[in-house]
Structure 1
C-alpha cells in the first residue's frame, strides 16, 4: 500500500534562521525545519519530537556535521539525528521521520502524508 503525500506550505523563507531550526505544525504533527546555508541542499525537515523523551524540542537542537552528515543534537540528552534520514547516530534502531522539502518561491513546502478518511462499515 502506498502512502499519498501532499506538498504542504509550512512557512516562508523570511521565517528561517541560518544554522537553526524552527518548529512548524503540519497535518502529520510537529516538524522541525532547518536552514543550513553552507550545505546543498540547504533545507531539511525532521519530526520535532525527540523519540527518547516524547518532547517537542528538536527544532531547538544544535545543528552540526558529523563525518559529513548534517545532524541536529537533541537539546535534552544530546543524541544526534541525521537531517537527511532521521536516523539516530548513537542508536541506529531509533529514528525520527524525515520529510522532503521544497522551496516554492518564498514558501517552504513539506511532503507530508495525506490522512485518509476512515472506511465506513456497510
Structure 2
C-alpha cells in the first residue's frame, strides 16, 4: 500500500534530521541502508492474529553518503506492507492490512511531515 500525498514525496532533508524526527515515531533505519539508499521502518504486530506489518519511508542520497551525518536524502512515497515468514515483506496493493494499522500509519506520516517541514523553515 502506498501513501500518496503525505508531503514527504520528493522532499530533501538532512539525514541527521530524518533520524531524529523519524526515530521519535519508531521509524528506524537499523541495517536497512547502503551508501546511496536508506529505509526507515516501523513494525506493527497484531497480537490477536500474529500478523506483522511494516511502515517504510524510503529515500536515497542526493548529496553525500548515507553513512555520514551530513548526507541529503530525497524521500520516496511511504509504503505499508505485510510480512510473510520466511519470505519477507510484500507491499502490493492487494495485501489485506487492518484498518487500525493503516490509520496509525497515516497519523504518523502526517505528524512526521509537519515536523520535518517546520524544522527546515
Same fold, TM exceeding 0.5? no
Q: What TM-score, normalized to structure 2?
A: 0.33
Normalization by structure 1: what TM-score?
0.33
Of Structure 1 and Structure 2, the greater helix share is in 2
